[in-house]
Amino acid sequence: MLLGKMKILLIHNKDCHIWQTAEKVLKEAIKEAKLPEEYKVVVVENDEDAKEYRFFGSPQIIIDGIDIDPSAEKATQFQAEGCRIYLWQGKMYEYPPKEMILEALSHG
């Protein structure tokens, strides 16, 4: 779905259930940014899907084709399995924190 011209994807696999928390935080960030709550949830089923979405762990948020995590640019191995760790302002998270999402939305 599109937010004006903004396309948001929440991508996850079947193994890592923290994506549900990521979805809740994504909704909060979208509301705080005063954007329509429109995004698409995608389930990565296999390594081919992982390569298509440049997926290297669940959950993943992509805005307009760009992973919201700047460190994702360095990723070269894509696979359907596994959870992901996010680093934001010196702290580790199991999902992207709201501040990270808000920053990405403001650049979208």
Domains and CATH numbers, the chain: 2-107 (3.40.30.10)
Q: What is the pLDDT of residues 42-97, one digit of tens each?
A: 999 999 999 999 999 999 999 999 999 988 988 889 999 999 999 999 999 999 99
The model carries a pTM of 0.91
Positive or negative, the Cα torsion across 73, 101, 3, 8? positive
Residue 2 has pLDDT above 50, yes or no: no
pLDDT at 67: 95
pLDDT at 4: 55
Say if CB 94 and CB 58 are below 8 A apart: no
Please name every residue paired with 91 in a beta bridge, in sequence order, or none if there are none. Answer: 88
Two tokens at 21? 């928390």
- Burial tier of 95 (Cβ tally within 10 Å: 0-12, 13-18, 19+): buried
pLDDT at 71: 87
